[in-house]
Structure 1
Amino acid sequence: MKIWAGRLSKEINDKVLNYTETTNADLRLIKYDILGSIAHVKMLHKQKIITENCEKNLLSALIEIYRLNENELFTLEKEYEDVHLNIENKINCIIGDELGGMLHTARSRNDQVVNDTRLYLRSYILEIKKSLEEFSDNLLLKSTENMNSLAVGYTHVQPAQPISLAFWYTAYVSIFNRDITRLENTFNSTNCSVLGSCALSGTSFNIDRSYTQELLGFDNIIGHALDATSSRDFIIECLSTLSIIMSNLSRLAEEIITWNSFEYGTLNIDDSFTTGSSIMPQKKNPVVAELAKGKVSRVYGALMQSLAMVKGVGLGYNCDLQEDKPLLWDALDTTIQTIKILDEHIKTSSYDSQRAYDICWGSFSTITELANWLVTNKGLPFRKSHLIAGQLTNFLISKKATLKSSNIALDFLKSKDIELSEEEYFEILDPKNVMNRQVSLGSTSPTSVKIIIEELEESLLAHKEFTFRKSLVIEKAESSLLKIKRG
C-alpha cells in the first residue's frame, strides 16, 4: 500500500513508476538517509514525542539496515520509488508498521532528501579537496626538484621568456590553492542541517532542530523551513566550483598535449599514459590529457542543466528538483577522477630542459633582457631600448640568424653606438642567466620560487588542517550515531 493510499483511489501505473522512481540515483544516499533517521529518532525520543520502547526498536532496525548496506545486502526496490520509502518499508518488515510508522513523525521526504544530499556532498567535497591537496603536494615536490631547470614561458602560444620549470609547476599549485579555498567555501555552504523543516512550513510537534544538527555534525542550520526544503543553490555552488576546477585542469591538459607535440618537444609523456594508432605505426597519442579536456564539458553541462532546472521552480518542493542528483554525482566522479589521473600523469612525465634552452635561443625569447640592460647600463628610455631590441630581432631574422649569431648582432648594436664585448653579450642573453635575474616578488628565479614554495606550503598546510578538522567532526558524529568505532 502506498503511503498516500488514503487520498488516491488508484495505484500509479508501471510507466509512471518507471518515469518517476529514483532508486538508482538514491543508492549513494542509503547510508546518509539512515544516519539522518537515527538522529531524527533520537530527537523524537528526547522531546518525548515517541516512547523509549519505540526509539529502541527503531534504532535497532536502522542499525540492522546500516550493517546490511555495508555488506551490500540491502537493495532498493523500484516499487518503493526512492531510498526513503525503501528504508521505511524495511523497518516495517523488521519491527512492524505500528512502531515503524512512527519514524516519519515530524518530517517529510522534502527535508529528508535535502539533508541526505548535504550529508553525502560534504564528505565528497572533502575527498575532492584531499585529492587536490595531494596533487599540489606532488607539484611542490616537482618544483623543489627542478628549481634550476629551464623551461619556456609562452604568451599567444609563442615563446615569450625563459622561466624555471619550478615556476611552471608552482603556477598550478597557486591556481589549485584558490580552487581549494572555493571547496572550503562550498563545504561551508553545504554543511547546514535542514532536518525538521518537514514539507515546507515546519511542524506543530515540539521538535529540537539544534539537537539533530549537533548529532549529525553540521556546522549550521538553514533556519527558514521553506527555504531549507527548496534550497538547491548549494548544489549549483558546488557544480560551479567543480567547473572552475575542471577548467584549470583542462588548461594543464592542454599544455601537456601541446608541449608533447613534435613541434614543441619539451614534455615527454610516459608510454602508459598514451595509446597508438590503428593505422599509423609511429603514433604516440596523449589520450589521457585529451580525455581530461573532453570531460570538462560534462561538468559544465551539469552546471548549466542545474541552473536551467531551478530557474522555473517556485518555492516549495517540486519533482523537477529530483533531477539534480544524477548531474551532481557524475560531476563529482568526473572531477575527482580527473584530478587523480592528471596527478599521476604529471608524476610520470619528464621535461626536456635542453630542448627548452634551444627554443629560448632560437625564438629570441631573451631579447627583453637586452632592452632592460640598455635602460640600466646605457641610460636609454625603455621605449628606445625596446625599439633597438626589436630592430635587432628583425635584422637577425632577415639574415636567417638567431641571437646566438653574436658577430652579426654585435655589429648591428655597434651601428646604434652600443659597444658590447662578446662575453658581455652572452652573459646578458643566456636563457639561464635571464631566468636567474628575475628577482621581483613572484618571479621565476630560483630565489623567488623558493619563497613562492614556502608560501604555498604554508597555505596548503592550513587547508589540510581544515580538511582534517571537518573530517574528524563528521567521523565522530557518525560513530556516535552508530555506537561503533569507525576506521
Structure 2
Amino acid sequence: MTDKLWGGRFDEDITTEVLEYTLTTDVDVRLVFADLWQDIAHVLMLGRRNIIPEQHARAILGALLRLWELHERGELTLRPELEDVHFNIEQMVIEDLGRETGGHMHTARSRNDQVSTDARMYLRRVHLDAVSANLALVEELLSFPEEDLLAILPGYTHSQAAQPVSVGFWKTAHASMLLRDVRRLRGAYERADESALGACALAGTSFPLDRELTARLLGFGAVLSHALDATSARDYLIEGAAAFALGSNNLSRMAEEIVLWSGHEYSLVEVPDAYATGSSIMPQKKNPVVAELTRGRAGRTAGTLVQLLTMAKGVTLGYSCDLQDDKPFLWNAIDTYLSTLRIVAGQTRGLRFDSKRGEDLCWDNFSTATELANHLVSEHGLPFREAHHVSGSLVSALIKRGSTLRDTAASAEILAGLGHPVEEAVLAHIFDPRTAVTSYTSPGGTSPRSVEAVRGELRAAVREHGRWLEETRQRLETAHTLTLQAARQIAEGAELAKTLDAVAAELPALHGSAALTTP
C-alpha cells in the first residue's frame, strides 16, 4: 500500500516519472500564504460547528501558526514528493501532531475547493497590485507641465500624419485607455472575490458547514453558492488573463509609438538613457529596448489567454487535472504584466518630446489642410464636401510644385485660381499647427482647455479607483489580522466559540450571494 495521504485505495505508489509529471509544488509556492490562511479559517469553522473536537482544533491551529511563522521567515519549503501545497501543509501538521489529531484538518474539504479558493485569494492580490501599478503609470502620464498643452506632435491615421495634436493630448489619451484597464481589473477582482471553500469535491458535504463564516475570515465579498460550479469554474482565471492581455496590448501600442517616434526619421521623442542600450558594432545607436520588449512581451499575455481558453474548453464540470495546467502560464503572464507596467512608468517619467520637430512635420505633411476646409465652410459658406475638394486640390497643386502649406503666397495664388480666394495672412494663421490645436475646443478635443477638462476627469477617476484600492486592501488586511488573532488566542487556550464569535463580529460583512449579485 502506498503511504500517500490518498493511498488507501492503492496497492503501489506512483513512479518517480509520474510524480514529476503531475506535481505542482514548483508553482504552488505562491499559494502558501493562501493555503495557510485558508487552513486556519477552515479549522476555526470546524471547531465552532463542533465538527471536530475543540482540543483538536486548538492543537491544529497551533501547528498552522508555527508553519505561518516559518513561512514569514522564508523557511517553509514544499517537498516535491508530497505533490502540491495542500498535501505538503497537511502532512507537516500531521508530522507535528500525529494523524490522530492532525488528520482532522482535512475534514469536510477537498483539494478541489482548496485550490480554487487559494487561486482566488492569490488573484485578488494580483488584481490589486495591477490596479496600483496602472494608477501609478496614469499619474505619470497626467503629471505633464503646462507647456505640454501646446507642445506639438503630428497625430496619425493609417500611419500617416493626419492632424496636429499636443503632447498633453497624447498622454491623456493613453491615460484614458489605462483607466479602462483598471475598470476591467476591478471587474475581474469582483468575480475572483467569491469563496469556493466548503464546496468540497463537487457536491458539498453532509457536515454542517458555515461557508459564510469562512468566507468572511478570508476577506471574501461573497460565497459562490453552487458547489459544482465553485469547484469547476475557471472563468475567473480566464477573465484575469484577458485583463492582463488587454492591458499588455495597450502598453504595447504606446510602446510602438515610442519606438517609431524615437527613430531618426521621426525624431519626435527620446527615451531616457537608462531605458535604452547601444549596439555592439554601431557606436551611434541608441536602441529603445524597454519599449521594444514591451511590444514583444505582450505576446506572452496573449498566449496565456489562448492557452487557458484551450485548456478549459473541453473539460466537463467537476475537477480534472487539465485545470492544474493553468498556473504555470498564468504566473508568467502576471509577472510579465506587472513588471512591464512598473518599468513603463519609469520610462514615461523620462520621455523627452521635441515639439519643434513635431511642428515641422505638421507643416511638411499638410496636417492643417482640414483647417482650410473648415474655414471655407464657416467663412465662405461652402458645403463641407465642396470645401474638402478645394482643400484637396490645393494640396495636390502644392505637391506638384514641391512646396508645402508654409508657402502661403503660393497657397493664396492657387486658391484664387480655384475661385476661392483667401488672404495670405489668414492662411498663415489657419495653417499654423498651434492654431489648429488651440481651435479644437469640442469636448475631448486638442485645445488646452479641452485637454485640461479631460485631465480633471481622469484625475477624479484615479482618486475614486485609489479609494477603492485602499478600502479593498484594508478589508483583506482586517480579515487576515482578525483570523490570525482568533487562531492565536484559541491556540493559547481561549474558549473557541466565545473567541471566534467576538472576532466574527468585527469581520467585514459579505456583499451578498455571488449567485444573486454577480452580473
* Same-fold call, TM cutoff 0.5: yes
Equivalent position to 2:391, from 389, 392, 395: 389
Where 1:129 maps in the other structure, the secondary structure is helix
Tell me the SS of whatever aligns to 2:139. helix
- Measure, in 2, the Cα distance between the counterparts of 1:148 and 1:57: 69
Give the equivalent residue in structure 2 for 1:174.
176
Contact kept? 1:143, 1:170, Cα under 8 Å: no
How far did 1:55 drift? 1.4
Match of residue 252 from structure 1 = 254
One-letter amino acid of the structure 2 residue matched with residue 259 of structure 1 = W
* Matched ranges for 1:7-406 at <5 A: 7-142=9-144, 144=146, 146-406=148-408
Aligned counterparts of 2:316 and 2:238: Cα–Cα separation in 1: 16
Does 1 or 2 have the higher relative contact order (CA < 8 Å, sep 6+)? 2
Q: Which amino acid aligns with 2:264?
A: F
What secondary structure sits across from 1:199 in the alignment? Answer: coil
Q: Which runs of 5+ in 1 are unaligned?
A: none
The answer to whether the 8 A contact 1:146-1:166 is kept is: yes
1:92 and 1:330 map into 2 onto residues whose CA distance is 33
What residue number does 2:500 align with? none
Percent identical among aligned pairs is 43
AA matched with 2:34: Y
Q: Is the 8 A contact 1:143 1:167 kept in 2?
A: no
CA positional deviation for 1:143: 6.3
The separation in 2 between residues aligned to 1:103 and 1:4, in whole angstroms, is 14
Return the alpha-carbon distance in structure 1 between the equivalents of residues 156 and 276 of structure 2.
Answer: 25
| Structure 1 residue 469: Cα displacement | 1.2
Letter in 1 for 2:191: S
2:499 is matched with which residue? none
Q: CA deviation at 1:92?
A: 1.4
Shift in Å, 1:109: 0.6
Deviation per CA, 1:234-281, whole angstroms, max 9, x where unpaired?
000110111110111110010010110111110111111111112222
Cα distance in 2, alignment partners of residues 5 and 330 from structure 1? 33
Q: Once the two structures are superposed, what CA deviation does each residue of 1:437-481 show, in whole Å capped at 9, x if it has no partner?
A: 001111011010111011111112111111111111111111111
1:110-140 deviation digits (Å, cap 9, x = unpaired): 1000000001110111001100011111111
Within the candidate set 471, 474, 484, 1:472 is matched to 474
Distance 1:472 1:145 in 2: 39
Aligned length: 485
Bigger shift: residues 145-154 or 377-386: 145-154
- AA matched with 2:396: N
Q: State the secondary structure of the residue aligned to 2:163.
A: strand
The one-letter amino acid of 1:222's match is: L
What TM-score comes out, normalization by structure 2 length? 0.92
> Structure 1 residues 144, 63: closer, same or farther in 2, change over 3 A?
farther
Asked if 2 retains the 8 angstrom alpha-carbon contact of 1:143 and 1:165, the reply is no
Letter in 1 for 2:195: S
Cα 1:144/1:199, change in 2 over 3 Å: farther
The alignment status of 1:424 with 2:417, answered yes or no, reads no
Shift of 1:420: 2.9
| Equivalent position amino acid for 1:323 in 2 | D
**Structure 1: how far apart are the matches of 2:427 and 2:302?**
50
SS of 1:407's partner is helix
How far, CA to CA, are the matches of 1:159 and 1:346 in structure 2? 23
Distance 1:41 1:123 in 2: 23
Give the distance between the partners of 2:82 and 2:153, measured in 1 at CA: 60
Q: TM-score, normalised by structure 1?
A: 0.98
Measured in 2, the distance between the counterparts of 1:207 and 1:22 equals 28
Alpha-carbon displacement from aligned partner over 1:81-109 (angstroms, at most 9, x marks no partner): 11011111111122222110000000011
Matched letter for residue 85 of structure 2? V
